[in-house]
Amino acid sequence: MIVRDHPSTLQLFIVMQGSIVPKIMGKILGIAVLTALVLYLDRYHVGLPHISIAAMGIFGVALSLFLGFRNNAAYDRWWEARKLWGSMIADLRNLGRHMCIFVGNGTDRAAILSCAVAFAHLHRGYLRQVDTRGDIVDWVGAQKADAMLAHQNPADAALRSMADQIGKLTGKEAISGFGQMTISQTLSSLALAQAGCERILTTPLPFVYSLLIRRTTYLYCWLLPFALIDSTGWFAPIFAAVVAYVFFGLQTVTNELELPFQNVQNGLPLDAMCRTIEISVSEALDRPAPEPLKASNYVLT
């Protein structure tokens, strides 16, 4: 995720960090070159068909509505994912307080909260398809870490381990009935947030809708040069490049926001959020807390 102040007016046109220009520069240049070629052929060699700029305007409005709708849908996915991770952070902090109230200090409390940290890292690993063993070994030990990672859903295995430990304390009557209910509700909330993230990961926006918009965007940008021949003259390549930047740029931004868990510049900073959880649990256990992750070159991972 990009973390920086808004650039000045001069920097606004030259800053590339977090911009989608490098990804679509080839498409922009391609449309500009196509427009220049169409204009050259029409002026000096053979008359080409001219398209009404008004017709292209109507076409452009319709395409803008489609792109805007898809962009809103993608941003909703990104924001929902952020809210789900925010709720997990809150639930894990609440779990630390529940342990203080209903379990008290001791090895049982430390073991349960250590599994909570492992849950966060394992969930991040599942969403990003990365190995998080090194992040959880110091919390739960190598043997338990390997046992969790052996499951199809390691994060769910961490939740079950926490539930098993709570169940053992309940069997020894070490937790009151109200405490059992409160902790169970917190674990259920964590499971709901986990399932919500998995739903976002495994259910992308409908492919047929994305395909329609991509095809329409290319068709519009390919036909646009024939509408700019009369109205803009030799400025046509510049106008076409600007239009291509807007439409292809929106399309590229939407593709990134649609998958919020990817480790890209505009993805969610899952590493930083897991570090926030580590800090909260460390302080709950009176351990030295690690430093928060900071943005590197304006990018927080």
Tokens of 108: 């049982």
Query: Where does residue 289 rank: exposed (0-12), middle (13-18), buried (19+ CB within 10 A)?
Result: middle
pTM summary value: 0.88
Q: What distance lies between CA 17 and its chain's CA centroid?
A: 17
CA dihedral 264, 269, 275, 281 (to 10 degrees): -140
CB 17 within 8 A of CB 2: yes
User: Three-state SS for 68?
Assistant: helix
Instruction: Give the residue carrying structure tokens 């902090």.
Output: 93
Tokens of 184: 């169970």
- Distance (Å, rounded) from C-alpha 167 to C-alpha 266? 41
Q: How far apart are the first and last CA of the chain?
A: 6
CB 215 within 8 A of CB 188: no
Residue 142 lies in a domain: yes
Ordered per-residue pLDDT tens for the chain, 301 residues: 766 666 666 665 566 666 777 788 898 899 899 888 888 887 877 777 888 778 788 888 888 888 888 889 899 999 999 999 999 999 999 998 988 888 877 788 899 999 999 999 999 999 999 999 999 999 999 999 999 999 999 999 999 999 998 888 888 877 888 888 898 999 999 999 999 999 999 988 888 878 888 888 888 888 888 888 877 777 888 888 988 988 888 888 888 888 899 888 788 899 999 999 999 999 988 888 888 878 776 667 7
Long-range contacts of 68-75 (CB under 8 A, 24+ apart): 68/250, 70/205, 70/209, 70/210, 70/213, 70/254, 71/250, 71/253, 71/254, 71/257, 73/205, 74/205, 74/253, 74/254, 74/255, 74/257, 74/258, 75/257
Residue 240 lies in a domain: no
Residue 17 lies in a domain: no
Total domain count, the chain: 1
Q: Which helix (H) or strand (E) holds 39?
A: helix 21-44
Residue 96 lies in a domain: yes
Which residues does residue 299 pair with via DSSP β-bridges, in sequence order? 2, 296
Residue 198 lies in a domain: yes
DSSP string, 201-216: HH-PSPHHHHHHHHHH
Residue 167 lies in a domain: yes
Residue 237 lies in a domain: no
Residue 78 lies in a domain: no
Domain with 146 in it: 87-204+272-287
Instruction: Give the residue carrying structure tokens 């803009």.
Output: 232
